[in-house]
Amino acid sequence: MINDKLPKIWYGGDYNPEQWGPEEWSEDDRMFKLAGIDVATINVFAWALLQPDEETYDFSTLDATMDRLYNNGVYVCLGTSTAAHPAWMAKKYPDVTRVDVQGRKRKFGGRHNSCPNSPTYRKYSTRIAGKLAERYKDHPALLIWHVSNEYGGYCYCENCAKAFRVWLKKRYKTIENLNKAWNTRFWGHTFYEWDEVVQPSELSEEWDGNRTNFQGISLDYRRFMSDSLLECYKLEHDEIKKYTPKIPITTNLMGTYPELDYFKWGKEMDVVSWDNYPSLDTPISFTAMSHDLMRGLRSGQPFMLMEQTPSQQNWQAYNSLKRPGVMRLWSYQAVARGADTVMFFQLRRSAGACEKYHGAVIEHVGHEHTRVFRECAELGRELQQLSDKLIDARTQAKVAIVYDWENRWATELSSGPTVALKYVDEVHKYYDALFQLNIEVDMVSVEEDFSKYDLVIAPVMYMVKPGFAKKTEDFVSSGGTFVTTFFSGIVNENDLVTLGGYPGELRSLLGIWAEEIDALFPDQKNRIVMKQPWGELQGEYDCGLLCDLIHSEGAEVLAEYGDDFYQGMPVLTRNRFGSGQAYYIASSPEESFLQGFLSNLCAEKGIKPLVLAGDGLESARRVKNGNAYLFLLNHNASPAEVQIGEIEQKDLLTNETVKGTVMVPARGVMILESKLD
Amino acid sequence: MINDKLPKIWYGGDYNPEQWGPEEWSEDDRMFKLAGIDVATINVFAWALLQPDEETYDFSTLDATMDRLYNNGVYVCLGTSTAAHPAWMAKKYPDVTRVDVQGRKRKFGGRHNSCPNSPTYRKYSTRIAGKLAERYKDHPALLIWHVSNEYGGYCYCENCAKAFRVWLKKRYKTIENLNKAWNTRFWGHTFYEWDEVVQPSELSEEWDGNRTNFQGISLDYRRFMSDSLLECYKLEHDEIKKYTPKIPITTNLMGTYPELDYFKWGKEMDVVSWDNYPSLDTPISFTAMSHDLMRGLRSGQPFMLMEQTPSQQNWQAYNSLKRPGVMRLWSYQAVARGADTVMFFQLRRSAGACEKYHGAVIEHVGHEHTRVFRECAELGRELQQLSDKLIDARTQAKVAIVYDWENRWATELSSGPTVALKYVDEVHKYYDALFQLNIEVDMVSVEEDFSKYDLVIAPVMYMVKPGFAKKTEDFVSSGGTFVTTFFSGIVNENDLVTLGGYPGELRSLLGIWAEEIDALFPDQKNRIVMKQPWGELQGEYDCGLLCDLIHSEGAEVLAEYGDDFYQGMPVLTRNRFGSGQAYYIASSPEESFLQGFLSNLCAEKGIKPLVLAGDGLESARRVKNGNAYLFLLNHNASPAEVQIGEIEQKDLLTNETVKGTVMVPARGVMILESKLD
Amino acid sequence: MINDKLPKIWYGGDYNPEQWGPEEWSEDDRMFKLAGIDVATINVFAWALLQPDEETYDFSTLDATMDRLYNNGVYVCLGTSTAAHPAWMAKKYPDVTRVDVQGRKRKFGGRHNSCPNSPTYRKYSTRIAGKLAERYKDHPALLIWHVSNEYGGYCYCENCAKAFRVWLKKRYKTIENLNKAWNTRFWGHTFYEWDEVVQPSELSEEWDGNRTNFQGISLDYRRFMSDSLLECYKLEHDEIKKYTPKIPITTNLMGTYPELDYFKWGKEMDVVSWDNYPSLDTPISFTAMSHDLMRGLRSGQPFMLMEQTPSQQNWQAYNSLKRPGVMRLWSYQAVARGADTVMFFQLRRSAGACEKYHGAVIEHVGHEHTRVFRECAELGRELQQLSDKLIDARTQAKVAIVYDWENRWATELSSGPTVALKYVDEVHKYYDALFQLNIEVDMVSVEEDFSKYDLVIAPVMYMVKPGFAKKTEDFVSSGGTFVTTFFSGIVNENDLVTLGGYPGELRSLLGIWAEEIDALFPDQKNRIVMKQPWGELQGEYDCGLLCDLIHSEGAEVLAEYGDDFYQGMPVLTRNRFGSGQAYYIASSPEESFLQGFLSNLCAEKGIKPLVLAGDGLESARRVKNGNAYLFLLNHNASPAEVQIGEIEQKDLLTNETVKGTVMVPARGVMILESKLD
């Protein structure tokens, strides 16, 4: 339980009373009650208010807000306010603003705007975190700490350059090691002194965002920046812990956000929280995958849905309204996949600046007689009714998909063989196939314990870090099934190719050799031709993107290419290794192939779908104290039929008992409780 | 009359004799006569020639040109030459060059390149304007002053930053007021001292041209820059007036150019002038609207067509030749809509640099035996024949469309609900419908006196400035018809939302409440379903872009949405208010809807079309001394039939008398004189 | 012969042993032998290794490599290593790094990164070239010098600004001349002192790469930058010649690379070499044209194919594998068109940095059992078998196409009439038509001796430099046939229009006057309507892009426009001039027109196709010592039938004798030897 002061699914969101006055505050109090809101995230962007100059701190407004909320039955998720520095600080200490990837020194503006290696920023952000902790450590409203906000963005200033060199020295010890790791003999880039190293930016090695001359330095700069920002978090975290060792601390993450290695971040957080902002055209399974990934950051521990919009966003190109019922449906999707909170950005819409057209529980009209408010209040009532039933319940998946931020960086920094390879999309293809099959999945790091799983899938495992190959071999030896794909096993953690034949360290496990890698144009296809029917797979399927030209070195060939000069070469192989099996898919297949393929593997391993249902019906399950909670989420605009099996289950939202075939209403939700088998 | 020295439609254009020598000059003299040219705009880009260094001025070339032109029967529109500073000035005083929105200090190059807050620029531009005025104040050729040229572009240098803070102090008095106006509590952007404010640029709050974190500061910077450039104009203007208080002063504007608030500029000009450069694919009605807008800058006063090309442009992607007859046709279009001059850029084509492929009266071949010259000379003869007939004639429209630059800035700076909203395009949709109906329209500012009109249309009146709501209520109370649309009444002049329900200050006038605003994807549509037939409207029509979800609060619902979850909610309403009516169109409709809708309103108000005619036949009317001058402009490549009514009218170009149905030749023009009813 | 030490087609490529160790070196030795490799390009990017600091030089690694290669039967193409400066140099002497066109000072990174006017770069690049020459002048492996690598890119730093002013003074003598050449009276840009001139960049006159306010300065900056880089080459060249006056020197060029005037460069090189990197979708005839252009840089002298990939590239969007046989086919294409070497980038794939996915003879797997290696080894055997047969053989074309880099710059810098005009594409249209007709072509400079040819084609000869018109008139007077097109004869070498009527200096030769130039939108077309059938031309053909509106002034009109207001005006004319004829094509025609037109001209001049064959079959011929070597290259994936005539010819690759009709296998090659008629 995140904090047992509030033993239910927390309900609330970001709240900025400092933008308003007493009239609105009393309306807020009244309407929060109507909506069943019991937690407010405050003080997220209030640094300038708390600290009007270098030596003055003024907590009076915050004091009053804390007290008012508490007296009104609302707990506080307390921000440290350090996601945007005050204007006076930028003026007095220019080191707090960043230099961008084009080498331009930024001026005051925006948010997430502080250089993570700025001495000024580190000093004052830590100091204010400490002051807040000291002041509110015993305040009864305090539920959890929210450090900064949506950490992100990189800096390229001279302070960062110096810190980068220190980071490199720590990593490589000697300049010779660094030269080797980055292969600097290429293009004569040998460094003789540490201070010859400059940041990879548009002024040196990079262009167009992710293009680089040297993958090694660009990869390390991403690691360094992720670490630098994490260090800022940790400084605040450690300062707070001095005062409130038992109050949990989090910061809000952003799903598949590319710039930070969230698996490293997860380790430093008491509870993971994240902000979920799908577009109208984001696949439902992509949101589901993001939730599962956030849950995976701390090996399955429940997380917080820190932000979502009640209705509409402002920063997308076309900001559609969430259709009636969709806010509730997506809220339960989060809960189904491990969230123990449902929180919004924002409780009251601001009247000015760029987020004034972002949805809120209390809209500009200011009263409760809106569709959006009614839906929020209805959900508030349901969450109170659910009480602590679902809190702390866990998912029990037998299938894991490996996700790795460093691997993502490396594949996207690669010069060749194709610009079309998007790591996240390839991972999502596998996730989506399992999602459609109603199979539970955990999204895991390369460091996760694989022995919990029967099936581990590592799409495009391009970068094989130390120990990964051995660990995977152990998993398969012991009976596990492992799947990987084209463009895997190519490089080590420094993006240096493992010589002697692809897929490098995974070669003996997979029993194949990839001699060449063909890149297809977007309109080009090849075919996967099954050598003989296998379970749900027979005949042929399209594939594209990249085609590894592989030779079996012991693996059984299940399918061959159907076209081009490598027609007849293997495209799908299975290698028996110890008691288990390792599959290799040499190209990027169409969806129907993956559903058949993964269906076969699950059948072999005895992994059963949660339910049988058609398109748009999502299922998920959480387990606690011997009970299973099966979530049925109907994303269709019409009712959906679902076969849930013959055991009686109780719908927590209606208290009805059901079994066999149930109908889930259009955009409706069922949460079915049963004894765990 | 602009200047009674030349009591006819002036005919001529930009002329740069300093690029040529005596041989060309005498050919110019000869050919200007052949072409009927009687005005030349000179000295527009001659600063470096007039002032070869800081202390030296040399007017000898200009003296000779003035005299030569006058002796040849050509008057002078005299430029002040300050649209491009000399190279020596940029080198000696770098403050004259600008810093761009990316923060890059510019070097010498281009034109419209001077920082408007540069002390050097202000000093020397004012000084040379004064010297010119002093020298030529009694020259008989002097007809009008042409200050600088096509003012535009913004600067982001430190001088501008300082001037911006002074401008802000004047506007807001206290930093508290500024913080409130910009809602700086958002993201903790509170300012404690004026000098903490930095310009909104790509280094601070903005990106991608019109994206910003803070609408307030970005809006004010646009106001400030428009004012700064206007201040440069006024400094020259005031200096000139010391010497020639009776000679009119203008500067050439650019239609719907986005960066300057031309309604403010119009107030400072004795006569408005503008440069008309449509593309081959610019809608005819868009050019017409631009003329009407320029006429509206000074409440209907005739304006100058300062520039158009005789044949082809150089800076478009594909520079089509104007087809035979089109130059004449478009020249009369300007006159029809209020121009008292027809002037070209340029009289002689330059031999080098970027405008050498821009059309001219005298082409590179240098003689008069060209199609372009023949067409110019033919038009010259006609304009002489028209004498002073049309000079100072006015338009008498009963319909006004409101146009507002600040509203345009605000809608385009808005973050959400859609990037697809283009203010000018929405305004043009309404204009175009009336244009097709042959209804006369004035384009007016929010400050215009509405009592002159029967129908006032304010599309996307997003920003409601102080007094506007009251004034519009008065107009409707007194019997006027007012039309506005979705996304209106949302914010005040600082882009702060008017709380309590959209459309804010216009809510009681319109009798509706807009609860939510849905943004549609480009390929999405909804439907306007008429509740019952109304005049020319019946059945259903497409709509899209944005859909306000409105509730009637007294307004009559004329049509409802046909689709989506807001099917059945009102999309077209009419509210009786006092003696008049206020309409609200909650989405962006297809063209046929608007033609029917506006046709209904005009019928109700007794506003009659000028003529009945088919597509591509444009009509317009000017009125003077009890006579009406009806222009029929056939933009088709085939003859057009027009019903002009049963009163006899005289064609000024042929002296024939016509009535009933007339045929206007392909790309032909008729100017029909009649007594005003 | 490039160097008679190795009297055969050289076979090898770029080799970077410094990235590897003894284990790989001995494998390299073994595998080079297997592949028949006899030349290695080394030391291209080794500056940092050779010169670890300002005063230390260490040649030990290079010594060992030279010796090892020589002992293994491999000669050396010795790089001077100056294409990328060492990191320590960038740190110690920042003047070596460039400032980009946006005005941003670059930091250490990339390659081709040195400012060409950096005193530091010039000093140390010359010094190391001299040290290498001194050290290896008598080394038996040394075959040829390879100065720097793929020169390119521009710099905009202050050192370049100063050098530009010196270059301008040399060119123009007085500032008055410069003002005149650039037409600086336009926009008042007159310069009074040389140091008022700043570089044309995004901070002054240019934007979007090739858009400029002043063509004159932008054109001169391109000339200056090409000269500046050439000066760097010459400094190294001259230093090397002091030690090895008889060893040839080259640097590798890049075909139609836009930034350098390669005709000026060719004059300074003992032998031209170039790097050939077609995409999968590059037309075969475009590669052929590039080879012919490189051959033309030194008037037909054989050149070196310095780089091509054995299999795949890394820097394209989608890096397809070269299909089986294609590497061999494209290698012979180079030889067929004048290459006396076949060389690869690279002999061994690097393990890290951005070229690790670029193909190589030795792949990451490290052994010879790969498709790519087998194809390389097979070609190596064939080249040994060909011995010195083809070395130094020449092409004997009777048709020349004029290509001019300065003309290319000028057309692409032009503001108007269309952005769609791409000089290289227009040239390629003419080349491609002749290629499809199996007619031999030389690509020549404007300075080439035309008397060798019967037919000279100068597409879009926009810029007519001094002497060109006279020389072309002489050529036609003496019986030659000359062809040029729309938008020709417009400007002089300073981009100043030749006044008095287009096509200026070519007007009397062509017997026409172009009154206007219409630019068509991409989806617009006009028609070429033949007045009567002429040879293979009859009926009508599409044309577009630009349409000159021309009048005959003596020329015979062969075809007229079919549409628009200039229907009936001439579009194809022939002017008899002395004993010859000059054709003008007033628009950009479709391909079938050009094939018919050029077929007619060749027939008239008695120029015969090499063979008769269908699509995808390329022919070329080299001649030596009274023998002709006819190359038949089948780019199709199926066999191709070719009629070669009734003389017996010997296939050098099979030693079979053939005549009449031969079948060339899919992607196959024949080299047929015969006595020259």
DSSP C402-460: E--HHHHHHHHH--SSBTT--HHHHHHHHHHHHHHTT--EEEE-TTS-GGG-SEEEETT
Burial C493-513 (b: 16+ CB within 10 A, else e): bbbbbbeebbbbbbbebbbbb
Would you call B194 an interface residue with chain A, using a CB distance cutoff of 8 Å? no
Interface subset of B 74-93, CB within 8 angstroms of C: 81, 84, 86-88, 90-91
The response to whether B376 counts as a known ligand-binding position is: no
Burial C24-45 (b: 16+ CB within 10 A, else e): bbebbeebbeebbbbbbbbbbb
State yes or no: pLDDT of C424 exceeds 80. yes
Residue C200 placed within a domain: yes
The partner residue sitting opposite B106, judged by closest CB among C190, C199, C204, is: C204
The partner residue sitting opposite B320, judged by closest CB among C183, C502, C518, is: C518
Rounded-to-integer distance, Cα A81 and Cα A75, Å: 18
Residue with tokens 């060199």: A165
The response to whether A547 counts as a known ligand-binding position is: no
Residue A339 placed within a domain: yes
Confidence of residue C580 (pLDDT cuts 50, 70, 90): very high
Amino acid sitting at position C534: W
Q: Mark whether C601 and C631 lie in a shared domain.
A: no
The pLDDT tens digits for B351-410 are 999 999 999 999 999 999 999 999 999 999 999 999 999 999 999 999 999 999 999 999
Question: By the 8 A CB rule, do B482 and B476 touch?
Answer: yes
Q: Mark whether A56 and A90 lie in a shared domain.
A: yes
Question: By the 8 A CB rule, do B393 and B340 touch?
Answer: no
Q: Which residues of A are catalytic?
A: 150, 307
Q: Mark whether A192 and A258 lie in a shared domain.
A: no
Contact A186 C88 (CB under 8 A): no
Contacts of B269 (CB under 8 A, 6+ apart): B249, B250, B251, B297, B298
Chain C residues touching A201 at Cβ < 8 A: 107
Residue with tokens 């710099």: C155
Residue B3 placed within a domain: no
State yes or no: pLDDT of C677 exceeds 90. no
Q: Which chains touch B (3 or more CB pairs under 8 A)?
A: A, C
The partner residue sitting opposite C353, judged by closest CB among A183, A198, A515, is: A183
The residue out of C332, C362, C386 marking a domain boundary is C386
Residues of chain A with pLDDT under 70: none
Q: Mark whether B296 and B195 lie in a shared domain.
A: no
Would you call B317 an interface residue with chain C, using a CB distance cutoff of 8 Å? yes
Contact A318 B414 (CB under 8 A): no
The pLDDT tens digits for A623-634 are 999 999 999 999
Chain B residues touching A84 at Cβ < 8 A: 187-189
- C609 DSSP 8-state letter: P
Question: Hey, is C510 helix, strand or coil?
Answer: helix
Interface subset of B 93-122, CB within 8 angstroms of A: 102-103
Chain B residues touching C190 at Cβ < 8 A: 48-49, 52, 86-87
Contact B16 C193 (CB under 8 A): no
Question: Hey, is B301 helix, strand or coil?
Answer: coil
The residue out of C219, C242, C260 marking a domain boundary is C219
Closest-CA residue of chain C to A187: C45
Interface probe for B, chosen from A14, A98, A356, A362 (most Cβ of B below 10 Å), is: A356
Rounded-to-integer distance, Cα B280 and Cα B321, Å: 9
Chain A residues touching B515 at Cβ < 8 A: 363, 365, 370-371
Question: By the 8 A CB rule, do B355 and B346 touch?
Answer: yes
Residue B481: the pLDDT is 98
Rounded-to-integer distance, Cα C188 and Cα B45, Å: 5
Indicate whether this model's pTM tops 0.90. Answer: yes
Residue A5 placed within a domain: no
Q: Mark whether A576 and A446 lie in a shared domain.
A: yes
Question: Hey, is A29 helix, strand or coil?
Answer: helix
Confidence of residue C572 (pLDDT cuts 50, 70, 90): very high
Contact B350 C216 (CB under 8 A): no
The residue out of B339, B356, B386 marking a domain boundary is B386
- Chains B–C, number of C-beta pairs less than 8 Å apart: 173
Interface subset of B 286-315, CB within 8 angstroms of C: 311-315
The pLDDT tens digits for C520-565 are 999 999 999 999 999 999 999 999 999 999 999 999 999 999 999 9
Contact C312 A417 (CB under 8 A): yes
Rounded-to-integer distance, Cα B352 and Cα C645, Å: 54
Would you call A666 an interface residue with chain B, using a CB distance cutoff of 8 Å? no
H or E segment to which residue A455 belongs = strand A455-458
Q: Mark whether B260 and B316 lie in a shared domain.
A: yes
ipTM at complex level: 0.96
Residue A677: the pLDDT is 72
Contacts of A619 (CB under 8 A, 6+ apart): A438, A609, A610, A611, A613, A630, A631, A632, A633, A642
Residue C639 placed within a domain: yes
Q: Mark whether A590 and A650 lie in a shared domain.
A: no
Residue with tokens 């791409």: C422
Chain B residues touching C185 at Cβ < 8 A: 16, 18-19, 46, 49
The pLDDT tens digits for A229-258 are 999 999 999 999 999 999 999 999 999 999
Residue A333: the pLDDT is 98
Burial B339-349 (b: 16+ CB within 10 A, else e): bbbbbbbbbbb
The response to whether B602 counts as a known ligand-binding position is: no
Residue with tokens 């840009």: C189
CATH number at residue A129: 3.20.20.80
Q: Mark whether C416 and C356 lie in a shared domain.
A: no
Task: Give me the mean pLDDT over the C335-354 stretch.
Answer: 98
Mean pLDDT over all residues of chain B?
98
The partner residue sitting opposite B188, judged by closest CB among A81, A319, A324, is: A81
Q: Mark whether A169 and A200 lie in a shared domain.
A: yes
Region of residue A625 (left: phi > 0; alpha: psi -120 to 50; beta: else): left
The partner residue sitting opposite B416, judged by closest CB among A53, A108, A319, is: A319
Structure tokens at B409: 């800035």
State yes or no: pLDDT of C129 exceeds 80. yes
Amino acid sitting at position B396: Q
Q: Mark whether A517 and A582 lie in a shared domain.
A: yes
Chain A residues touching C88 at Cβ < 8 A: 192-193, 196
Q: Nearest CA of chain C to the CA of B351: how many Å?
A: 5
Full domain range(s) for residue A165: 158-219
Confidence of residue B323 (pLDDT cuts 50, 70, 90): very high
Contact B519 A319 (CB under 8 A): yes
State yes or no: pLDDT of B113 exceeds 80. yes
- Report the share of chain C in percent with pLDDT over 70: 100
Rounded-to-integer distance, Cα C182 and Cα C168, Å: 12
CATH number at residue A574: 3.40.50.880
Q: For A208-279, where are the E strands, in sequence order?
A: 211-212, 249-250, 252-253, 273-275
Q: Mark whether A522 and A461 lie in a shared domain.
A: yes
CA-wise closest residue to B672 among B614, B625, B616, B633 = B633
Residue B556 placed within a domain: yes
Structure tokens at B326: 């089109």
What domain count does chain B have?
Answer: 4
Residue C510 placed within a domain: yes
Q: Residue C468, Cβ neighbours under 10 Å: how many?
A: 20
Residue A282 placed within a domain: yes
Q: Mark whether C232 and C298 lie in a shared domain.
A: yes
CA angle, C555 then C558 then C561, to 5°: 105
Rounded-to-integer distance, Cα A669 and Cα A329, Å: 6
Residue B677: the pLDDT is 72
Contacts of B297 (CB under 8 A, 6+ apart): B253, B262, B263, B265, B266, B269, B272, B303, B445
CATH number at residue A623: 2.60.40.1180
State yes or no: pLDDT of B335 exceeds 80. yes
- C320 DSSP 8-state letter: P
